[in-house]
Structures are given as C-alpha cells and as structure tokens.
Amino acid sequence: MTLIGTGEIVAPAVSGGHGVGAFNVIQLEHAEAIVAGAEAAGAPVVLQLSQNAVRYHGGLAPIGAATLAVARAAAVPVAVHLDHATERSLVAEALALGFGSVMFDASALPYEENVRTTAEVTRQCRAAGVWVEAELGEVGGKDGVHAPGARTDPAQAAEFVARTGVDALAVAVGTSHAMLTRTAALDLGLIAALRAAVPVPLVLHGSSGVADPVLAAAVAHGMTKVNIATHLNKAFTEAVRGRLAADPALVDTRTYLGEGRAAVAREVTRLLGLLTAPRPADRAAVSP
C-alpha cells in the first residue's frame, strides 16, 4: 500500500458504515507515529497538515514533503490532506506538492461569499483531480475558545453542497477545537438530519473533545471523517514529560521524542479500532 487519495479512503467507509481517522501532523514524529498506529490497526488513515502547522514550519514544502514521504512508505493506505486552509495560495501549493485533498475553510465569511469562494476553489481542485472538503456552520474553538453553540442547518448545508460541488462537508454539531477534556455534547439528532439532507460525507472537526462512546455514536448516526489533533498532542506531551521527569539529565531528543511518538502510535491504533468498526445503525446513502 502507499499514498492514495482521501476520497479512496472515505468512499469505502461510507459504503461500509464506518468512520475514517484523520489525524493532524505537526512534526515528523507525528506523521511517523500516525502511520505506525495505522499499520498496527491494519486500517487506512489520513495525515492532515493544518494552515497553523504550516505557519509554524515557515512554509508547507518541508513538512509537506516529509509527510508525503512517510505516506508513500506506509504498509497501509495513507492520504495526505491540507486542513483548514483559508489562503488560496496555500491550496495551490498543496496541489503542486501532490496532496490528495484539501479542506478550504471560508466558514468565517458571510454565507454567499463562502459559497462563491469555495466553488472557485473546488473547480480549481477538481481540475487537478483533488478531493475537496469545506465547512459550514463555523466550528468553535479555533483560538482555544470553547463555543459549543454553533450548529449547521441541514437545508442550508444541502444547498451549500449543491452550489459549491464539494466532496465532503465539515459541520457544526457541538464540538469545539482545542478541547483538553472529552466532554463535548454532540447533537446526534442533528447529525442524522444532516446525513439525510446532505449528499456527501460528513466530517467531524474538534473530535478531541468527544468521548469514545459519543464518537462511536456520531459515526453510527452519519459521520464519516473524524478529525483528531489535540487529543494526540496530549498523549505526546504527557509521554515526553514523563520521560524527562524520570531522567532530568536526559538531553538526547531522540529518546524523549521517541516516547512521545510511541504514545501517539498506540492511541492512533486504539482510536482506529473504535472508528473503523462497522456500525449497526441504518445509514442513508451518500455519494463518496
């Protein structure tokens, strides 16, 4: 197996009634850990690079090329995805590097401007054979603020997809980005209503704040792509802190970063087992 498109991972999940794990890469160790975890689970996985991570590295090319290289060497299907891009120049750079999908985020714009801009980006990506995700009903917490009140309207979501031509839609159903506790209360009824109304796969952002049973229920009610970042960063950081505390004289970064990498790999394996298990709930047909 090797690098494939995100749509090639999402489509079988839709038809099979299970979820797809999409995990954010910040450093090379994250990419290595996520792939190792997916290989242990025997499951496909999506490696995501956010615009914030790109900013941290000073550009997309170095971390993007490294992430693509890790994906190509994997023993399971791996897709590389640009997450939460608000700059069209960054989308173009991702296309040139060989990313298989992008999430263009114009959700903070007025609705009509979101539709117009997203449709333009979708046409650009479609011409390159690249899968496109967009967002409607801004998910809270991008600046660390827990804002669980945002909700996506099913009728507006269906109209948005029809007018933009996107391949997947990120919706607001009660999650918030950057949550450090897994206490988010999801609106499962809204997820089911969105599934029935929207003809493309649904994406759950801010999933780090969602407990395991609720994540499973979200997939059963119609979510497919599940994005997780902060939860893995917690696992990484806790492992590094523990290793440094155990040996205050330690200076070899490979030793303590390796502990963080191993912790993330274990958690990815566990989460993929949860997300990729088939769900018994009846699922409305959506196009992949």
Residues assigned a catalytic role: 83
Whether 227 and 168 have beta carbons less than 8 Å apart is answered as: no
| Backbone angles phi and psi of 159, in degrees to 5 | -65, -40
User: Who's near 79: CB < 8 A, 6+ residues apart?
Assistant: 3, 4, 5, 6, 8, 9, 44, 45, 46, 47, 71, 100, 101
Three-state DSSP state, 185: coil
- Going by their DSSP bridges, the two strands 45-50 and 78-85 should be labelled as parallel
C-alpha distances (whole Å) from 130 to each of 53, 123, 171, 218 are 21, 10, 21, 26
Q: How many beta carbons lie within 10 A of that of residue 89, not counting itself? A: 9
Among 169, 265, 175, smallest CA distance to 222 is for 169
| Helix, strand, coil fractions of the chain, as percent rounded to 5 | 50, 15, 35
H or E element at residue 29: helix 28-41
